[in-house]
Structure 1
């Protein structure tokens, strides 16, 4: 929020998404709850992610899926001014017209640019979110006119995947494993060259961190 995460949120995100240790994850969740109670909109976005299932958090973390609660929290986060909340709401079909009207950002692009700024300053989770914006096609929300230059989805992916690849790698370099599945899909697509030695380097690095990988 306002260009950077608070220290409690930054610590909590690392504990929940990079530790793969249930005790550390519980500690991170407690930090998020404390921050949320103090009005931290980013904390709400990350709490919501905890209840959105295995695509959003490690399945063994101990969180039960609660879509209704997650949607409520994510939408509240976006309307309170969390750029993370806006991007995650878009990705999870929670960026409704009502939420867009009430969020303090002039557009999705403005929220994306805030996350991009944090990513450029080295925040691992923001690097991952920027990569996702390109990978999933949400960049067309950032620059709608950009869609005119692509014939179809494959044409878009051929342009976007190399950009997403670079941002995923930057998140890996900071110890975040969340984008590995998408990174593998980029490689399998044949639309973006990922050298074998580079792929193996990241595989070995992340497998040392993540029991899933």
Structure 2
């Protein structure tokens, strides 16, 4: 059945995948696009292709799998079958080769552009976004067979003209419910896309994206507000974004509860936020969850959970601070089976990263607390001969690095004294 712009299944598929932010709806949308493709709709092939292109092209928490080879195959097929949208999207993806141009059933790129333009003018948000992109990315010059300077005299004039032509299309597409359009609309004001840099205008665009109910832009606008100290206002947008499935918002919400920014300080609430983000696979949240369970302040100390979340942060995201926590619990057998060699390897890897950061940038990678754990553990390794040969000199050197602020290192160092005659370190 023919809808207003595309066949009915294709229209509904586009709506479900790009305008709903609901994982079940998104999966249903891909299914509809698959069915429409199998029924011979070239445009469905084009949009189905886009669902396999990864998080840059669909909501990052959509749950859709990425398959570049399949995406490219579907997109090429959509061109050959006569999808004008497929032609313009393929231009942007670098897939529109000479073969595809010869095989497309259009006399020219401009003919394909005109078809999409008519749908955009009629009100389809995704087509409005595609047309906006032909200006934003300057594809329009190839489509029209012109040169920027030939048409606008100078490159500066061309840059400004492209921004002015792209912006209303992005604005209309965003108003029509397409979150993706806000991304490039926002980028128009970063100082590299025709307009002078305008942070105030970017903030306004972010606000409009948030007010439109787009979870990514609720997060982005909330981040901007939080970064500028508007914590209470930020909290409202971030909480809405998190509730809609924008997992990245949980980290800032956790930070707000941890530090009492815009909300009462509440470490238990902070932990709940971090755990929500951790379960979604966010490495920073996994590390913070492990840290709060390690600290045991305001929440129950739990070494098994320190091990679980630190290990995930290391394996899934190679979080450098998580190396320290994981090495610590393995070295001491806290919350997991003791593995002194693996624990030491992790600690030494973390130390290498910390030193490299200092050598490159003149500052250490880790916080004082994490450096305290790291140096305290390495001091104990040499003091007690764990895996390595016992070496009191090295042990003291590690304790001394952090003894100025770390009570554990201070206490461990106090176990040693220098012999009056040999000037060697010995246990008291």
TM-score by length of 2: 0.46
Structure 2 vs 1, CA of residues 185 and 195 (structure 1 numbering), >3 Å: closer, same or farther? closer
Deviation for aligned residue 1:199: 6.2
SS at match of 2:165: helix
- State whether residues 109 and 141 of structure 1, in contact with CA within 8 Å, keep that contact through their aligned partners in structure 2: no
Measured on the aligned residues, the alpha-carbon RMSD in Å equals 2.3
Which is worse superposed, 86-95 or 143-152?
Answer: 143-152
Distance between the aligned counterparts of 2:94 and 2:137, measured in 1?
A: 13
Segments of structure 1 that go 5 or more residues without pairing to the other structure are none
- State whether residues 175 and 206 of structure 1, in contact with CA within 8 Å, keep that contact through their aligned partners in structure 2: no
With a CA cutoff of 8 Å and minimum separation of 6, indicate the structure with the bigger relative contact order: 1
Deviation for aligned residue 1:168: 0.4
Structure 2 vs 1, CA of residues 142 and 199 (structure 1 numbering), >3 Å: closer, same or farther? farther
The answer for the alignment partner of 2:69 in structure 1 is: 68
The answer for the alignment partner of 2:165 in structure 1 is: 163
Deviations 1:53-98 (A, max 9, x none): 2221111111222111111110110110001110111110110111
Q: 2:210 aligns with which of 207, 210, 213?
A: 207
- State whether residues 12 and 31 of structure 1, in contact with CA within 8 Å, keep that contact through their aligned partners in structure 2: yes
The residue correspondences of 1:1-213 to structure 2 (distance < 5 A) are 4-147=5-148, 148-150=150-152, 154-189=156-191, 191-192=194-195, 200=204, 202-208=205-211, 209-213=213-217
Distance between the aligned counterparts of 2:70 and 2:131, measured in 1?
A: 25
Distance between the aligned counterparts of 1:197 and 1:145, measured in 2?
A: 31
State how many pairs are aligned. Answer: 211
Structure 2 vs 1, CA of residues 71 and 154 (structure 1 numbering), >3 Å: closer, same or farther? farther
Which is worse superposed, 185-194 or 88-97?
Answer: 185-194
- State whether residues 140 and 146 of structure 1, in contact with CA within 8 Å, keep that contact through their aligned partners in structure 2: yes
Deviation for aligned residue 1:4: 3.3
SS at match of 1:145: coil
Between Structure 1 and Structure 2, whose CA radius of gyration is higher? 2
- State whether residues 43 and 83 of structure 2, in contact with CA within 8 Å, keep that contact through their aligned partners in structure 1: yes
Structure 1: 4+ residue segments shifted above 6 A: none
Distance between the aligned counterparts of 2:47 and 2:78, measured in 1?
A: 9
Structure 2 vs 1, CA of residues 16 and 6 (structure 1 numbering), >3 Å: closer, same or farther? same
